[in-house]
Amino acid sequence: MTNKNFDDIQSEEMREYFMQMNHPYYLYAKSMTDLYDEVYKPKMPVIENLLYSGTYLFVGAPKVGKSFFMAQIAYHISKGMALWDYKVNKGTVLYLALEDDYARLQHRFYTMFSEGENDNLYLATQSHQLNDGLDKQLEYFIGKHHDTKLIIIDTLQKIREISGEKYSYSNDYDIVTRLKRFSDNNNVCLLLVHHTRKQQSDDCFETISGTNGLLGAADGAFLLQKEKRTSSKATLDAVGRDQQDQRLYLEFNRERCIWDFIKSENELWKLPDDPLLESVSKIVNAEKQEWAGTATELITKLGLDIPPNSLTRHLNVNADRLFNEYNISYENTRTHAGRQVTFKLIPKETE
């Protein structure tokens, strides 16, 4: 039997892959083994434990204070300032305030934040609709501002095409799915402002105007509501795929037009410490910002006694924790010598 080198094996795999893809009934699927061997892009926290990269709905009744909340979030993220007790990761923000004009925005931001200059927050009062090139406009903006972390669309209705299927499940699901595909491809957060309907429900998220297709396709949702329209107090309910369900109690400061935090209904559960990730953080730090080697070399470096596959798979699954908790990016690539593991410290942006 002939010994095959690495390149021959790779060529055979590629030939078989293309033959399968050309089959009329080919269905792409990964084995569980392949799944564990993959390193996926980490979900980036925009506001830690509250808002991540992806597509979210921000819902409330008309005139409940959604636009003030959007301005507050936009400003804090663009400045890298903590929002209440929530840590914020600084980045460029694009706010499509499609129900406002620039004069109203000027007054609102000046009332809320006085004279503070801010070159990381961009405001637009007009845009294309989703079926007429909005995604191209957003891609162009991101191309000019590579550190874009958040895009607010206020409101979702302004970018939708009006049609007879306006409130169908399939149409609602398709709209949010297209926006989610954009946010996932560009690793940004899209926050879609939307309204509630008048009918009440036992589940507060069922009051979202439209069908369940909106929430079903989104990564999460926030619902801002008051018991009485004249009250300054409100609750903010949050649900999502990448964060825990929460209820926050807030109060609107009428003088400054900002939302103040009162309390949280539940304490967030924290993942237990991971000794392996902690060990990696000790070999990749401010003094030595990069490390590369085989999985076997890493085992020796860390003083561990585990199989190389177990090590790399644990790192593959926890690449997001390694990045979000220690600012260390992780790559696992296949080479002639075997699996090559690379760690890099990514310095955090500071104001």
Confidence band (pLDDT; 50, 70, 90) for 351? very low
CATH top class, domain 273-351: alpha beta
Question: Does residue 210 carry a pLDDT above 60?
Answer: no
pLDDT band at residue 228 using 50, 70 and 90 as cut-offs: confident
Coil vs helix vs strand at 155: coil
Report the chain's terminal Cα–Cα distance, integer Å: 62
Secondary-structure class of domain 45-264 per CATH: alpha beta
Q: Which residues of 171-201 are buried (b: 16+ CB within 10 A; e: fewer)?
A: bbbebbeebbebbbebebbbbbbbbbeeeee
How far apart (Å, rounded) are the C-alpha atoms in residues 335 and 114?
Answer: 55
> Which pLDDT band holds residue 41 (cuts at 50, 70, 90)?
confident
**Is 60 exceeded by the pLDDT of residue 320?**
yes
The predicted structure's pLDDT at residue 24: 82
Q: Which residue has the higher pLDDT, 230 or 269?
A: 230
Determine the average pLDDT of the residues in 78-83. Answer: 94
Residue whose tokens read 């079903």: 216
- 1 band by pLDDT with thresholds 50, 70 and 90: very low
What average pLDDT does range 264-275 have in this prediction?
83
pLDDT digits (tens, 9 = 90+) for 103-148: 999 999 999 998 777 999 999 999 999 989 999 999 999 999 999 9
Q: Please count the residues of the chain.
A: 351
Residue ranges of domains in the chain:
45-264, 273-351
Name which of 188, 190, 66, 187 is nearest 127 in CA terms: 190
Distance CA 279, CA 333 (A): 21
For a pLDDT cut of 90, what percent of the chain falls above it? Answer: 56
Residue 165 confidence class, pLDDT cut points 50, 70, 90: low
pLDDT above 50: residue 315: yes
